[in-house]
Amino acid sequence: MRNLKKFLALLLSVMMIATTAVIVSAEDATDYTEAAEVLVSTGALKGYTDGKLHLEDDVQRYQMALFIARMMTGDVDDTLWSNFNTTSFTDIDSLSQYVGAISFVTDEGVIKGRSET
């Protein structure tokens, strides 16, 4: 478990650095295309309904929580998280479909809030 947390911390760091680059799409960025294809092929990264990854967009808390939950469990079926809610965060009502993933990564100590919100 300790090595998994180190791996996830490294992966998160690499992802944060990668998102600072201006990228129009994965197709235009040869350096990221292979990594994006691997993540998409595993189901860990699914993209948007328009079929694009939008790598140039900021990553939201719920997106990162869902990605990390998928990576930690190996389960890419997002319905797994629909009935799981142990979070005390009060600002995620509009993200109800992601509350389970946020709860999971919070319980695992991967993310923390600044307060009870």
Q: Which residue has the higher pLDDT, 18 or 64?
A: 64
Token pair in block for residue 5? 């947390």
Please write the tens of the pLDDT for every residue from 47-66.
888 888 887 888 888 888 88
Instruction: Taking residues 87-98, report their average pLDDT.
Output: 74
| Alpha-carbon span 73 to 104, nearest angstrom | 10
Token pair in block for residue 111? 């993310």
Look at residue 31 in the predicted model and tell me its pLDDT: 66
Count Cα neighbours of 84 within 13 Å in the Cβ-side half-sphere: 15
Look at residue 61 in the predicted model and tell me its pLDDT: 82
Instruction: Taking residues 93-97, report their average pLDDT.
Output: 70
Which uninterrupted H or E stretch holds 36? helix 30-42
Token pair in block for residue 58? 């900021």
Token pair in block for residue 85? 């809610």
The domain ranges of the chain are 1-57, 60-117
CA-based nearest residue to 60, from 111, 24, 4: 111
